[in-house]
Amino acid sequence: MASQNHHQLHFVLFPLMCPGHFIPMVDMAKLLAQHGVAVTVITTPLIAARFCQTINRATASGLPLQLLHLPFPSVAAGLPEGCESLEAIPSPNLIVNFFVAIDMLQQPFEQLFQLIEPKPSCMIADKHITWVVQTGRKFRLPTIIFDGMSCFTLLCTHNLHVSKVHESVSESEPFMLPGLPDTIEVTKSQLPLSTSSDSVVHNFLARVRAVEEEAYGTVVNSFENLEPRYITGFRKITERLWCIGPLSLCNKDNLDKAQRGNKASIDENQCLNWLDTQESGTVVYACLGTLSRLALPQLIELGSALELSKHPFVWVIQGGDKAEKIDKWMEEDGFEKRTNERGLIIRGWAPQVLILDHPAVGAFLTHCGWNSTLEGVCASVPMITWPQFEEQFFNEKLVVKVLETGVSVGAQATVNVLEEDNFAVLIKREAIKKAVDEVMDAGINGGERRKRARELGEMAKRAVEEGGSSYLNVRLLIQDVMQQLKDKGPNEDHNSS
Ligand code: UDP
Protein backbone atom coordinates (compact mmCIF):
# COMPACT_ATOMS: atom_id res chain seq x y z
CA MET A 1 0.00 0.00 0.00
CA ALA A 2 1.38 3.37 -0.98
CA SER A 3 1.39 5.28 2.26
CA GLN A 4 2.62 8.65 3.32
CA ASN A 5 4.39 8.67 6.65
CA HIS A 6 2.29 10.16 9.35
CA HIS A 7 4.48 9.00 12.20
CA GLN A 8 3.81 12.22 14.03
CA LEU A 9 0.22 10.99 14.27
CA HIS A 10 -0.63 8.41 16.88
CA PHE A 11 -4.09 6.85 17.09
CA VAL A 12 -5.18 4.97 20.21
CA LEU A 13 -7.83 2.32 19.55
CA PHE A 14 -10.01 0.98 22.34
CA PRO A 15 -12.40 -1.78 21.27
CA LEU A 16 -15.34 -3.26 23.20
CA MET A 17 -14.54 -6.68 24.65
CA CYS A 18 -16.73 -8.66 22.27
CA PRO A 19 -15.48 -10.49 19.13
CA GLY A 20 -17.83 -8.72 16.73
CA HIS A 21 -16.34 -5.43 17.97
CA PHE A 22 -12.65 -6.14 18.68
CA ILE A 23 -12.01 -8.19 15.51
CA PRO A 24 -12.82 -5.33 13.11
CA MET A 25 -10.96 -2.84 15.32
CA VAL A 26 -7.77 -4.87 15.19
CA ASP A 27 -8.19 -4.94 11.40
CA MET A 28 -8.67 -1.16 11.57
CA ALA A 29 -5.43 -0.83 13.56
CA LYS A 30 -3.54 -2.66 10.81
CA LEU A 31 -5.23 -0.59 8.12
CA LEU A 32 -4.33 2.73 9.78
CA ALA A 33 -0.77 1.54 10.32
CA GLN A 34 -0.60 0.60 6.62
CA HIS A 35 -1.48 4.22 5.93
CA GLY A 36 1.55 5.32 7.96
CA VAL A 37 -0.11 6.25 11.27
CA ALA A 38 1.32 4.92 14.54
CA VAL A 39 -1.37 2.88 16.31
CA THR A 40 -1.75 1.59 19.86
CA VAL A 41 -4.52 -0.89 20.64
CA ILE A 42 -5.51 -1.07 24.30
CA THR A 43 -7.33 -4.21 25.39
CA THR A 44 -7.51 -6.83 28.13
CA PRO A 45 -4.80 -9.51 28.50
CA LEU A 46 -6.89 -12.45 27.26
CA ILE A 47 -8.10 -10.58 24.22
CA ALA A 48 -4.57 -9.31 23.57
CA ALA A 49 -3.37 -12.93 23.62
CA ARG A 50 -5.79 -13.71 20.77
CA PHE A 51 -4.12 -11.05 18.63
CA CYS A 52 -0.50 -10.93 19.65
CA GLN A 53 0.68 -13.19 16.80
CA THR A 54 -1.16 -11.10 14.23
CA ILE A 55 0.19 -7.87 15.71
CA ASN A 56 3.72 -9.29 15.99
CA ARG A 57 3.66 -10.26 12.32
CA ALA A 58 2.41 -6.79 11.39
CA THR A 59 5.12 -5.16 13.52
CA ALA A 60 7.81 -7.41 12.06
CA SER A 61 6.73 -6.29 8.59
CA GLY A 62 7.44 -2.70 9.67
CA LEU A 63 3.99 -1.48 10.63
CA PRO A 64 3.99 1.01 13.54
CA LEU A 65 1.67 -0.94 15.85
CA GLN A 66 1.63 -1.82 19.53
CA LEU A 67 -0.71 -3.67 21.87
CA LEU A 68 -1.13 -2.54 25.50
CA HIS A 69 -2.85 -4.54 28.24
CA LEU A 70 -5.46 -3.29 30.63
CA PRO A 71 -6.50 -5.82 33.29
CA PHE A 72 -10.26 -6.49 33.21
CA PRO A 73 -11.91 -6.32 36.67
CA SER A 74 -14.01 -9.48 36.13
CA VAL A 75 -14.14 -10.65 39.74
CA ALA A 76 -14.64 -7.17 41.20
CA ALA A 77 -17.66 -6.76 38.92
CA GLY A 78 -19.14 -10.12 39.89
CA LEU A 79 -18.03 -12.07 36.82
CA PRO A 80 -16.09 -15.34 36.92
CA GLU A 81 -12.31 -15.01 36.84
CA GLY A 82 -11.00 -14.80 33.29
CA CYS A 83 -14.32 -13.73 31.85
CA GLU A 84 -13.14 -10.81 29.73
CA SER A 85 -15.28 -10.98 26.65
CA LEU A 86 -19.03 -10.80 26.14
CA GLU A 87 -19.22 -14.20 24.45
CA ALA A 88 -17.54 -15.83 27.49
CA ILE A 89 -20.27 -14.75 29.92
CA PRO A 90 -21.77 -17.95 31.36
CA SER A 91 -25.24 -16.56 31.98
CA PRO A 92 -27.18 -13.79 30.24
CA ASN A 93 -28.02 -12.34 33.66
CA LEU A 94 -24.38 -11.32 33.98
CA ILE A 95 -24.45 -8.96 30.99
CA VAL A 96 -25.11 -6.07 33.40
CA ASN A 97 -21.99 -7.05 35.39
CA PHE A 98 -19.98 -6.99 32.18
CA PHE A 99 -20.89 -3.34 31.65
CA VAL A 100 -20.17 -2.60 35.33
CA ALA A 101 -16.66 -3.97 34.73
CA ILE A 102 -16.31 -1.71 31.69
CA ASP A 103 -17.28 1.31 33.78
CA MET A 104 -14.64 0.31 36.33
CA LEU A 105 -11.99 0.51 33.62
CA GLN A 106 -12.13 4.27 33.20
CA GLN A 107 -9.62 5.19 35.88
CA PRO A 108 -6.97 2.56 35.03
CA PHE A 109 -7.45 3.38 31.34
CA GLU A 110 -6.75 7.05 31.99
CA GLN A 111 -3.68 6.21 34.08
CA LEU A 112 -2.33 4.07 31.26
CA PHE A 113 -3.26 6.65 28.66
CA GLN A 114 -1.22 9.30 30.44
CA LEU A 115 1.93 7.22 30.02
CA ILE A 116 1.53 6.51 26.31
CA GLU A 117 4.31 7.77 24.08
CA PRO A 118 4.32 9.38 21.60
CA LYS A 119 1.43 11.61 22.63
CA PRO A 120 -1.84 10.29 21.19
CA SER A 121 -3.40 12.46 18.49
CA CYS A 122 -6.85 10.96 18.74
CA MET A 123 -8.77 8.04 20.18
CA ILE A 124 -11.05 5.71 18.27
CA ALA A 125 -13.21 3.83 20.76
CA ASP A 126 -16.28 1.66 20.72
CA LYS A 127 -19.36 3.74 21.41
CA HIS A 128 -20.63 1.17 23.94
CA ILE A 129 -17.81 2.16 26.31
CA THR A 130 -19.75 5.16 27.36
CA TRP A 131 -17.08 7.09 29.32
CA VAL A 132 -14.71 7.48 26.35
CA VAL A 133 -15.88 10.95 25.34
CA GLN A 134 -15.36 12.16 28.90
CA THR A 135 -11.81 10.78 28.80
CA GLY A 136 -11.25 12.37 25.39
CA ARG A 137 -12.40 15.70 26.82
CA LYS A 138 -9.99 15.37 29.78
CA PHE A 139 -7.07 14.73 27.46
CA ARG A 140 -8.28 17.32 24.94
CA LEU A 141 -8.33 14.81 22.13
CA PRO A 142 -10.85 14.20 19.40
CA THR A 143 -12.78 11.04 20.31
CA ILE A 144 -14.00 9.23 17.26
CA ILE A 145 -16.42 6.41 17.81
CA PHE A 146 -16.41 3.11 16.03
CA ASP A 147 -19.78 1.78 15.12
CA GLY A 148 -19.86 -1.92 14.42
CA MET A 149 -23.07 -1.56 12.43
CA SER A 150 -24.12 -0.69 8.89
CA CYS A 151 -25.39 2.77 7.94
CA PHE A 152 -28.66 1.00 7.05
CA THR A 153 -29.01 -0.03 10.71
CA LEU A 154 -27.84 3.34 12.01
CA LEU A 155 -30.41 5.16 9.90
CA CYS A 156 -33.24 2.74 10.81
CA THR A 157 -32.40 3.03 14.52
CA HIS A 158 -32.22 6.81 14.38
CA ASN A 159 -35.49 7.15 12.45
CA LEU A 160 -37.31 4.83 14.86
CA HIS A 161 -35.97 6.73 17.84
CA VAL A 162 -37.22 10.01 16.40
CA SER A 163 -40.56 8.85 14.95
CA LYS A 164 -41.44 6.25 17.63
CA VAL A 165 -43.79 4.57 15.11
CA HIS A 166 -43.10 1.19 16.69
CA GLU A 167 -44.65 2.31 19.95
CA SER A 168 -48.15 2.26 18.53
CA VAL A 169 -48.13 -1.16 16.83
CA SER A 170 -48.60 -4.69 18.15
CA GLU A 171 -45.70 -7.17 18.29
CA SER A 172 -46.56 -9.00 15.06
CA GLU A 173 -48.17 -6.28 12.97
CA PRO A 174 -45.89 -5.38 10.03
CA PHE A 175 -45.14 -1.67 9.69
CA MET A 176 -42.99 0.39 7.37
CA LEU A 177 -39.59 1.59 8.57
CA PRO A 178 -39.88 5.39 8.41
CA GLY A 179 -37.75 7.74 6.31
CA LEU A 180 -35.92 5.15 4.21
CA PRO A 181 -35.31 5.31 0.46
CA ASP A 182 -36.75 1.76 0.08
CA THR A 183 -40.02 0.27 1.25
CA ILE A 184 -39.03 -2.02 4.10
CA GLU A 185 -41.45 -3.68 6.48
CA VAL A 186 -40.63 -5.12 9.90
CA THR A 187 -42.53 -6.14 12.99
CA LYS A 188 -41.92 -4.88 16.50
CA SER A 189 -40.79 -8.34 17.56
CA GLN A 190 -37.91 -8.14 15.05
CA LEU A 191 -36.55 -4.88 16.42
CA PRO A 192 -33.28 -4.60 18.35
CA LEU A 193 -33.05 -3.82 22.05
CA SER A 194 -32.42 -0.17 21.19
CA THR A 195 -36.16 0.19 20.85
CA SER A 196 -36.89 -1.56 24.16
CA SER A 197 -38.71 0.17 26.98
CA ASP A 198 -36.87 -1.84 29.69
CA SER A 199 -35.38 0.76 32.06
CA VAL A 200 -31.86 -0.71 32.36
CA VAL A 201 -31.57 -1.03 28.59
CA HIS A 202 -33.17 2.37 28.14
CA ASN A 203 -30.66 4.09 30.46
CA PHE A 204 -27.69 2.38 28.89
CA LEU A 205 -28.81 3.32 25.40
CA ALA A 206 -29.39 6.91 26.48
CA ARG A 207 -25.72 6.94 27.53
CA VAL A 208 -24.70 5.51 24.15
CA ARG A 209 -26.71 8.21 22.38
CA ALA A 210 -24.98 10.87 24.48
CA VAL A 211 -21.64 9.41 23.30
CA GLU A 212 -22.85 9.59 19.69
CA GLU A 213 -23.83 13.21 20.14
CA GLU A 214 -20.60 14.32 21.74
CA ALA A 215 -18.14 12.28 19.67
CA TYR A 216 -16.00 14.12 17.15
CA GLY A 217 -16.96 11.72 14.36
CA THR A 218 -17.88 8.15 13.49
CA VAL A 219 -15.98 5.41 11.70
CA VAL A 220 -18.14 2.74 10.06
CA ASN A 221 -17.18 -0.67 8.68
CA SER A 222 -18.95 -0.28 5.36
CA PHE A 223 -18.24 1.10 1.91
CA GLU A 224 -19.93 3.74 -0.22
CA ASN A 225 -21.14 1.47 -3.05
CA LEU A 226 -22.72 -1.07 -0.71
CA GLU A 227 -25.40 1.15 0.76
CA PRO A 228 -24.98 4.58 -0.91
CA ARG A 229 -28.44 5.99 -0.14
CA TYR A 230 -28.25 4.89 3.48
CA ILE A 231 -24.78 6.38 3.91
CA THR A 232 -26.04 9.65 2.41
CA GLY A 233 -29.07 9.50 4.72
CA PHE A 234 -26.95 8.92 7.81
CA ARG A 235 -24.45 11.64 6.82
CA LYS A 236 -27.29 14.13 7.23
CA ILE A 237 -27.38 13.12 10.90
CA THR A 238 -23.68 12.56 11.55
CA GLU A 239 -21.57 15.13 9.82
CA ARG A 240 -18.15 13.49 10.19
CA LEU A 241 -18.69 9.95 8.97
CA TRP A 242 -15.93 7.83 7.50
CA CYS A 243 -16.85 4.51 5.87
CA ILE A 244 -13.54 2.68 5.67
CA GLY A 245 -14.52 -0.96 5.19
CA PRO A 246 -14.72 -3.78 4.57
CA LEU A 247 -12.06 -4.01 7.28
CA SER A 248 -11.62 -7.78 6.94
CA LEU A 249 -10.02 -7.21 3.54
CA CYS A 250 -6.82 -5.99 5.19
CA ASN A 251 -6.07 -9.69 5.87
CA LYS A 252 -4.30 -10.71 2.70
CA ASP A 253 -2.46 -13.93 3.45
CA ASN A 254 -3.85 -17.24 4.66
CA LEU A 255 -2.17 -17.05 8.06
CA ASP A 256 -3.76 -13.68 8.86
CA LYS A 257 -7.14 -14.97 7.69
CA ALA A 258 -6.77 -18.23 9.63
CA GLN A 259 -5.74 -16.58 12.91
CA ARG A 260 -8.19 -13.70 12.74
CA GLY A 261 -9.97 -13.22 16.05
CA ASN A 262 -8.86 -16.42 17.78
CA LYS A 263 -6.91 -19.62 17.42
CA ALA A 264 -8.97 -21.76 15.08
CA SER A 265 -10.06 -25.11 16.42
CA ILE A 266 -9.24 -26.79 13.12
CA ASP A 267 -5.88 -26.93 11.40
CA GLU A 268 -5.80 -24.41 8.59
CA ASN A 269 -4.42 -26.94 6.08
CA GLN A 270 -6.91 -29.63 7.04
CA CYS A 271 -9.67 -27.14 6.39
CA LEU A 272 -8.25 -26.00 3.05
CA ASN A 273 -7.53 -29.57 1.95
CA TRP A 274 -11.12 -30.57 2.66
CA LEU A 275 -12.44 -27.57 0.72
CA ASP A 276 -10.05 -28.38 -2.15
CA THR A 277 -11.77 -31.76 -2.55
CA GLN A 278 -15.15 -30.06 -3.17
CA GLU A 279 -16.34 -28.66 -6.48
CA SER A 280 -16.40 -24.92 -6.98
CA GLY A 281 -19.45 -23.11 -5.57
CA THR A 282 -21.06 -26.21 -4.04
CA VAL A 283 -20.40 -25.90 -0.30
CA VAL A 284 -22.82 -24.29 2.18
CA TYR A 285 -20.91 -22.63 5.05
CA ALA A 286 -23.10 -22.40 8.16
CA CYS A 287 -22.02 -20.28 11.13
CA LEU A 288 -24.26 -18.26 13.42
CA GLY A 289 -21.64 -16.00 14.96
CA THR A 290 -20.16 -15.85 18.43
CA LEU A 291 -23.15 -14.92 20.58
CA SER A 292 -26.03 -17.01 19.21
CA ARG A 293 -27.01 -19.86 21.50
CA LEU A 294 -29.46 -22.09 19.63
CA ALA A 295 -31.50 -24.49 21.72
CA LEU A 296 -30.49 -28.12 21.24
CA PRO A 297 -33.67 -29.05 19.30
CA GLN A 298 -33.07 -26.02 17.07
CA LEU A 299 -29.48 -27.10 16.45
CA ILE A 300 -30.78 -30.54 15.49
CA GLU A 301 -33.18 -28.92 12.98
CA LEU A 302 -30.28 -27.03 11.45
CA GLY A 303 -28.11 -30.15 11.16
CA SER A 304 -31.02 -32.11 9.69
CA ALA A 305 -31.67 -29.34 7.14
CA LEU A 306 -28.03 -29.43 6.05
CA GLU A 307 -28.32 -33.19 5.64
CA LEU A 308 -31.63 -32.97 3.75
CA SER A 309 -30.32 -30.31 1.37
CA LYS A 310 -27.76 -32.79 -0.03
CA HIS A 311 -25.12 -30.10 -0.57
CA PRO A 312 -21.64 -30.39 0.93
CA PHE A 313 -21.41 -28.24 4.05
CA VAL A 314 -19.16 -26.79 6.72
CA TRP A 315 -21.06 -26.46 9.99
CA VAL A 316 -19.58 -24.41 12.83
CA ILE A 317 -20.81 -25.30 16.30
CA GLN A 318 -19.57 -22.94 18.98
CA GLY A 319 -18.32 -24.40 22.30
CA GLY A 320 -20.24 -24.52 25.57
CA ASP A 321 -22.37 -27.24 27.07
CA LYS A 322 -24.60 -27.60 24.01
CA ALA A 323 -21.57 -28.78 22.04
CA GLU A 324 -21.45 -31.91 24.17
CA LYS A 325 -25.18 -32.50 23.81
CA ILE A 326 -25.12 -32.05 20.06
CA ASP A 327 -22.16 -34.44 19.84
CA LYS A 328 -24.19 -37.01 21.74
CA TRP A 329 -27.11 -36.51 19.35
CA MET A 330 -24.85 -36.84 16.30
CA GLU A 331 -23.49 -40.11 17.57
CA GLU A 332 -26.80 -41.62 18.66
CA ASP A 333 -28.63 -40.45 15.56
CA GLY A 334 -25.83 -41.47 13.20
CA PHE A 335 -25.77 -37.95 11.67
CA GLU A 336 -22.00 -37.65 11.46
CA LYS A 337 -21.61 -41.10 9.91
CA ARG A 338 -24.27 -40.42 7.30
CA THR A 339 -22.86 -37.00 6.35
CA ASN A 340 -19.21 -37.83 6.83
CA GLU A 341 -18.47 -37.77 3.10
CA ARG A 342 -19.81 -34.31 2.46
CA GLY A 343 -19.86 -32.51 5.80
CA LEU A 344 -17.08 -30.86 7.78
CA ILE A 345 -18.04 -30.01 11.34
CA ILE A 346 -15.96 -27.43 13.19
CA ARG A 347 -16.44 -27.44 16.94
CA GLY A 348 -15.31 -24.10 18.33
CA TRP A 349 -13.64 -21.26 16.46
CA ALA A 350 -13.65 -21.47 12.66
CA PRO A 351 -11.27 -19.57 10.38
CA GLN A 352 -14.32 -17.92 8.83
CA VAL A 353 -12.72 -15.52 6.36
CA LEU A 354 -10.35 -18.23 5.11
CA ILE A 355 -13.30 -20.56 4.49
CA LEU A 356 -15.55 -17.98 2.88
CA ASP A 357 -12.79 -16.96 0.48
CA HIS A 358 -12.35 -20.52 -0.79
CA PRO A 359 -13.84 -21.04 -4.27
CA ALA A 360 -15.64 -24.21 -3.12
CA VAL A 361 -18.00 -22.14 -0.94
CA GLY A 362 -21.26 -21.38 -2.75
CA ALA A 363 -23.44 -19.95 0.03
CA PHE A 364 -23.24 -18.62 3.58
CA LEU A 365 -25.91 -19.53 6.12
CA THR A 366 -25.52 -16.61 8.51
CA HIS A 367 -27.12 -14.98 11.55
CA CYS A 368 -26.49 -11.62 9.82
CA GLY A 369 -24.08 -10.17 12.36
CA TRP A 370 -22.67 -7.15 10.53
CA ASN A 371 -19.12 -8.53 10.29
CA SER A 372 -20.31 -11.85 8.93
CA THR A 373 -22.64 -10.11 6.50
CA LEU A 374 -19.78 -7.98 5.15
CA GLU A 375 -17.46 -10.98 5.02
CA GLY A 376 -20.10 -12.77 2.92
CA VAL A 377 -20.29 -9.72 0.64
CA CYS A 378 -16.48 -9.66 0.25
CA ALA A 379 -16.46 -13.37 -0.61
CA SER A 380 -19.12 -12.77 -3.31
CA VAL A 381 -21.38 -15.48 -1.88
CA PRO A 382 -25.17 -15.32 -1.68
CA MET A 383 -26.57 -15.73 1.82
CA ILE A 384 -29.18 -17.77 3.64
CA THR A 385 -30.26 -15.37 6.36
CA TRP A 386 -31.26 -16.40 9.86
CA PRO A 387 -31.14 -13.36 12.17
CA GLN A 388 -31.27 -14.02 15.91
CA PHE A 389 -31.28 -10.73 17.80
CA GLU A 390 -30.11 -7.13 18.01
CA GLU A 391 -29.73 -5.38 14.66
CA GLN A 392 -29.49 -8.65 12.74
CA PHE A 393 -33.02 -8.35 11.32
CA PHE A 394 -32.05 -4.97 9.83
CA ASN A 395 -29.00 -6.58 8.20
CA GLU A 396 -31.24 -9.32 6.85
CA LYS A 397 -33.52 -6.69 5.27
CA LEU A 398 -30.51 -5.03 3.66
CA VAL A 399 -29.29 -8.34 2.20
CA VAL A 400 -32.65 -9.74 1.11
CA LYS A 401 -34.62 -6.63 0.13
CA VAL A 402 -32.03 -4.03 -0.89
CA LEU A 403 -28.98 -5.94 -2.14
CA GLU A 404 -31.10 -8.94 -3.22
CA THR A 405 -28.30 -11.38 -2.54
CA GLY A 406 -29.99 -13.50 0.11
CA VAL A 407 -32.97 -15.66 0.99
CA SER A 408 -34.49 -15.67 4.47
CA VAL A 409 -35.22 -18.83 6.45
CA GLY A 410 -38.24 -16.91 7.73
CA ALA A 411 -37.34 -15.97 11.30
CA GLN A 412 -40.18 -13.89 12.74
CA ALA A 413 -38.86 -12.58 16.03
CA THR A 414 -35.67 -11.92 17.96
CA VAL A 415 -34.51 -14.70 20.28
CA ASN A 416 -34.63 -13.71 23.92
CA VAL A 417 -31.00 -13.72 25.03
CA LEU A 418 -32.03 -13.41 28.64
CA GLU A 419 -33.82 -16.77 28.55
CA GLU A 420 -31.30 -19.36 29.62
CA ASP A 421 -33.06 -22.62 28.97
CA ASN A 422 -34.74 -22.15 25.71
CA PHE A 423 -36.03 -25.33 24.12
CA ALA A 424 -37.96 -23.72 21.33
CA VAL A 425 -37.76 -24.78 17.72
CA LEU A 426 -38.59 -21.59 15.91
CA ILE A 427 -37.46 -22.58 12.43
CA LYS A 428 -38.21 -26.05 11.11
CA ARG A 429 -35.75 -28.07 9.03
CA GLU A 430 -37.99 -27.83 5.95
CA ALA A 431 -37.89 -24.01 6.03
CA ILE A 432 -34.09 -23.97 6.36
CA LYS A 433 -33.72 -26.53 3.56
CA LYS A 434 -36.04 -24.52 1.32
CA ALA A 435 -33.92 -21.38 1.75
CA VAL A 436 -30.68 -23.34 1.19
CA ASP A 437 -32.08 -24.92 -1.99
CA GLU A 438 -33.31 -21.57 -3.28
CA VAL A 439 -29.90 -19.97 -2.81
CA MET A 440 -28.03 -22.94 -4.33
CA ASP A 441 -30.50 -23.12 -7.22
CA ALA A 442 -28.85 -23.37 -10.63
CA GLY A 443 -31.81 -21.64 -12.36
CA ILE A 444 -32.29 -18.03 -13.42
CA ASN A 445 -33.09 -16.61 -9.97
CA GLY A 446 -30.16 -18.33 -8.31
CA GLY A 447 -27.89 -17.24 -11.16
CA GLU A 448 -29.02 -13.61 -10.93
CA ARG A 449 -28.50 -13.62 -7.18
CA ARG A 450 -25.01 -15.05 -7.58
CA LYS A 451 -24.21 -12.43 -10.23
CA ARG A 452 -25.25 -9.61 -7.89
CA ALA A 453 -23.18 -11.15 -5.09
CA ARG A 454 -20.18 -11.38 -7.41
CA GLU A 455 -20.52 -7.73 -8.42
CA LEU A 456 -20.77 -6.59 -4.80
CA GLY A 457 -17.66 -8.59 -3.89
CA GLU A 458 -15.76 -6.88 -6.69
CA MET A 459 -16.98 -3.45 -5.53
CA ALA A 460 -15.88 -4.26 -1.97
CA LYS A 461 -12.36 -5.05 -3.13
CA ARG A 462 -12.19 -1.93 -5.29
CA ALA A 463 -13.30 0.21 -2.32
CA VAL A 464 -10.20 -0.66 -0.29
CA GLU A 465 -7.71 -0.49 -3.17
CA GLU A 466 -5.64 2.66 -3.70
CA GLY A 467 -8.03 5.33 -5.00
CA GLY A 468 -11.16 3.41 -3.86
CA SER A 469 -13.77 5.09 -1.66
CA SER A 470 -12.72 3.47 1.62
CA TYR A 471 -9.06 4.09 0.87
CA LEU A 472 -9.85 7.77 0.29
CA ASN A 473 -11.98 7.93 3.42
CA VAL A 474 -9.05 6.66 5.51
CA ARG A 475 -6.95 9.48 4.08
CA LEU A 476 -9.68 12.01 4.83
CA LEU A 477 -9.87 10.75 8.39
CA ILE A 478 -6.11 11.08 8.82
CA GLN A 479 -6.10 14.56 7.27
CA ASP A 480 -8.94 15.63 9.53
CA VAL A 481 -7.10 14.54 12.68
CA MET A 482 -3.91 16.21 11.42
CA GLN A 483 -5.83 19.46 10.89
CA GLN A 484 -7.25 19.20 14.40
CA LEU A 485 -3.73 18.92 15.79
CA LYS A 486 -2.57 21.93 13.78
CA ASP A 487 -5.52 23.98 14.98
CA LYS A 488 -4.78 22.98 18.55
CA GLY A 489 -1.22 24.30 18.28
CA PRO A 490 2.10 22.77 19.38
CA ASN A 491 1.97 23.65 23.08
CA GLU A 492 -1.03 21.61 24.14
CA ASP A 493 -0.40 19.54 27.21
CA HIS A 494 -0.65 15.77 26.88
CA ASN A 495 -1.84 15.29 30.42
CA SER A 496 -5.33 15.67 31.65
CA SER A 497 -6.12 18.57 33.89
N1 UDP B 1 -15.89 -15.56 13.65
C2 UDP B 1 -14.87 -16.41 13.28
N3 UDP B 1 -14.99 -17.72 13.61
C4 UDP B 1 -16.05 -18.23 14.26
C5 UDP B 1 -17.11 -17.35 14.62
C6 UDP B 1 -16.99 -16.02 14.29
O7 UDP B 1 -13.87 -15.98 12.67
O8 UDP B 1 -16.09 -19.44 14.51
C9 UDP B 1 -15.75 -14.11 13.36
C10 UDP B 1 -16.48 -13.69 12.11
O11 UDP B 1 -15.66 -13.82 10.98
C12 UDP B 1 -16.83 -12.24 12.42
C13 UDP B 1 -16.98 -12.21 13.94
O14 UDP B 1 -16.34 -13.39 14.42
O15 UDP B 1 -15.77 -11.40 12.04
C16 UDP B 1 -18.43 -12.23 14.41
O17 UDP B 1 -18.99 -10.99 14.23
P18 UDP B 1 -20.49 -10.77 13.73
O19 UDP B 1 -20.71 -9.31 13.72
O20 UDP B 1 -20.70 -11.45 12.44
O21 UDP B 1 -21.39 -11.53 14.76
P22 UDP B 1 -21.47 -11.61 16.37
O23 UDP B 1 -20.67 -12.77 16.75
O24 UDP B 1 -20.95 -10.31 16.91
O25 UDP B 1 -22.93 -11.81 16.60
Q: Give the pLDDT of the chain (497 residues) as one tens digit per residue.
A: 545 555 589 999 999 999 999 999 999 999 999 999 999 999 999 999 999 999 999 999 999 999 999 999 999 999 999 999 998 998 888 999 999 999 999 999 999 999 999 999 999 999 999 999 999 999 999 999 999 999 999 999 999 999 999 999 999 999 999 999 999 999 999 998 766 667 888 899 899 999 999 999 999 999 999 999 999 999 999 989 999 999 999 999 999 999 999 999 999 999 999 999 999 999 999 999 998 888 889 999 999 999 999 999 999 998 766 788 899 999 999 999 999 999 999 999 999 999 999 999 999 999 999 999 999 999 999 999 999 999 999 999 999 999 999 999 999 999 876 665 566 778 999 999 999 999 999 899 999 999 999 999 999 999 999 999 999 999 999 999 999 988 887 655 444 43
Residues 36 and 175 grouped into a single domain: yes
292-302: string of b/e by CB count within 10 Å (b at 16+)? bbbbbebbbbb
Q: What is the pLDDT of residue 396?
A: 98
Is 399 touching ligand 1 by the criterion CB < 6 Å? Answer: no
Number of domains in the chain: 2
Give yes or no for a contact between 226 and 459, defined as CB atoms under 8 angstroms apart.
yes
- The DSSP line for 62-103 is T--EEEEE----TGGGTPPTT--SGGG-SSGGGHHHHHHHHH
Q: What is the pLDDT of residue 494?
A: 47
Residues 286 and 206 grouped into a single domain: no
Residues 80 and 11 grouped into a single domain: yes
Is 261 touching ligand 1 by the criterion CB < 6 Å? Answer: yes
Is 64 touching ligand 1 by the criterion CB < 6 Å? Answer: no
**Ligand 1 pocket test, candidate residues 17, 23, 344, most atoms within 8 A of CB:** 23
Residues 172 and 309 grouped into a single domain: no
Residues 330 and 455 grouped into a single domain: yes
Helix (H) or strand (E) holding 144: strand 143-147
Q: How far apart are CA 425 and CA 41, in angstroms?
A: 41
Q: Which atom of ligand 1 is found nearest the CA of 261? A: 7
- The DSSP line for 4-56 is --EEEEEEEEE--SSHHHHHHHHHHHHHHHHTTEEEEEEE-HHHHHHHHHHHH
Q: What is the pLDDT of residue 103?
A: 96
Q: Torsion angle of alpha carbons 252, 457, 354, 40, nearest 10°?
A: 50
CATH number, position 231? 3.40.50.2000
Q: Which of 298, 88, 123, 295 is nearest to 211 (CA)?
A: 123
- Is residue 37 one of the residues assigned to a domain? yes
Give yes or no for a contact between 10 and 118, defined as CB atoms under 8 angstroms apart.
yes
Q: How far apart are CA 288 and CA 283, in angstroms?
A: 16
Of all protein residues, the one whose alpha carbon is nearest to atom 13 of ligand 1 is 20
In this structure, the chain runs to a length of 497
Give yes or no for a contact between 479 and 217, defined as CB atoms under 8 angstroms apart.
no
Instruction: Please state the separation of Cα 443 from the chain's center in Å.
Output: 32
- Is residue 256 one of the residues assigned to a domain? no
Q: What is the pLDDT of residue 497?
A: 37
Residues 137 and 282 grouped into a single domain: no
Q: Which atom of ligand 1 is found nearest the CA of 356? A: 11
Q: How far apart are CA 184 and CA 401, in angstroms?
A: 8
Residues 19 and 162 grouped into a single domain: yes
Residues 348 and 329 grouped into a single domain: yes
Q: Helices 444-464 & 469-488, crossing angle to 10 degrees?
A: 30
Residues 99 and 129 grouped into a single domain: yes
Residues 224 and 286 grouped into a single domain: no
Q: What is the pLDDT of residue 293?
A: 81
Q: How far apart are CA 264 and CA 257, in angstroms?
A: 10
Give yes or no for a contact between 5 and 106, defined as CB atoms under 8 angstroms apart.
no
Q: What is the pLDDT of residue 194?
A: 67
What are 145's strand-pairing partners? 125, 218
Give yes or no for a contact between 413 and 187, defined as CB atoms under 8 angstroms apart.
yes
Give residue 81's domain range. Answer: 6-250+462-488
- The DSSP line for 366-415 is E---HHHHHHHHHTT--EEE---STTHHHHHHIIIIII--EEE----S--
Establish whether the linkage from the previous residue to 246 is cis, with ω within 30° of 0.
yes
Q: What is the pLDDT of residue 14?
A: 98
Give yes or no for a contact between 381 and 360, defined as CB atoms under 8 angstroms apart.
no
- Is residue 10 one of the residues assigned to a domain? yes
Instruction: Please state the separation of Cα 125 from the chain's center in Å.
Output: 15
Q: Which atom of ligand 1 is found nearest the CA of 292? A: 25
pLDDT in tens, 22-59: 999 999 999 999 999 999 999 999 999 999 999 999 99
Residues 298 and 341 grouped into a single domain: yes
- Is residue 494 one of the residues assigned to a domain? no
pTM for the model = 0.96
- Is residue 258 one of the residues assigned to a domain? no
**Ligand 1 pocket test, candidate residues 22, 372, 381, 399, most atoms within 8 A of CB:** 372
